[in-house]
Structure 1
């Protein structure tokens, strides 16, 4: 886990992760790499809604397919398989406009996927992270900023 590599200590749900004061720069770099934000309070107060279209043009990496795990994009859960392995649900703040997440079982493993051409809204996305989403979607889809959240 990334936080442990930075000597972080988990202090429970109410407090979260705790780090030594000298780890601020490394922690900000980690937040930028995963979520596209620097971890400051301002980064999460200026939010927008994104419209994202899934595309399978670049088949070298499977952005829209996950094995025994949810589908993530820039640290956001887009979809996850239900425990019964028969269906998948959208992640928090995700609304599918066309297409829907799917789940199938292959050799006792759940495969969660977003079909090619699916369109979904991603609510409460930090404006600071939009460029990170655009880079992550290169060859895998399109991203459009719709409005301030």
Structure 2
């Protein structure tokens, strides 16, 4: 997930890709230094970066919080027609900052996100003109590991879209 590190007069944010992160980071005059390092910022942005971590991933950006993880099973029960979580046009499906399903860049094939294992059902891809709809049908279930701290955030993202069963 997302870890904020303060060292050598700068702050770095190491985090997985999230579609909303780049515009926010550029707004704080952050610089992307590569996948291994992440984003670099001036020290006065530490409090704002921790707020961003809570907003995008439901964590405080501390490494200790990332180490305390739990396994969950999410069962999809999409009830929202206007703003579905598990149906996207020309976009990957994210839940609580984690990529749940995506589309291969080289060919139109739906695939699970990194660390996501489907137990029932699977991502479905359907063409619509020049675009594609990516969806996870109601009744599908998948497992993933999340920081324990992020459980309330993930649960709030699922309101009206599914439910969580905590495995451990």
What's the TM-score once normalised by structure 1's chain length? Answer: 0.93
CA distance, structure 1, for counterparts of residue 134 and residue 80 of structure 2? 18
After superposition, the CA RMSD in angstroms is 1.1
**Is the contact made by 1:6 and 1:27 (CA closer than 8 Å) also made in structure 2?**
no
Residue 19 of structure 1 aligns with which residue? 41
Q: 2:125 aligns with which of 92, 103, 114?
A: 103
In structure 2, which of residues 58, 61, 80 is the aligned counterpart of residue 39 of structure 1? Answer: 61
The number of aligned residues is 145
Structure 2 unaligned regions, length at least 5: 1-22
* Cα displacement string for residues 37-59 of structure 1 (whole angstroms, at most 9, x for unaligned residues): 01111110000011101112232
Shift of residue 35, structure 1, vs aligned partner: 0.3
Cα distance in 2 for residues equivalent to 1:63 and 1:14: 29
Name which structure has the greater RCO, CA cutoff 8 Å, separation 6+.
1
Residue 4 of structure 1: which of 10, 19, 26 is its match? 26
Instruction: Work out the CA distance in 1 between the residues paired with 2:39 and 2:160.
Output: 34
Q: Which residue of structure 2 aligns with residue 93 of structure 1?
A: 115
TM-score under structure 2 normalisation?
Answer: 0.83
Aligned to 1:30: 52
**Runs of 4+ in structure 1 over 6 Å off:** none
CA contact (8 A) 1:43 1:128 kept: yes
1:61 CA drift (Å):
0.9
* Matching residue of 2:158: 137
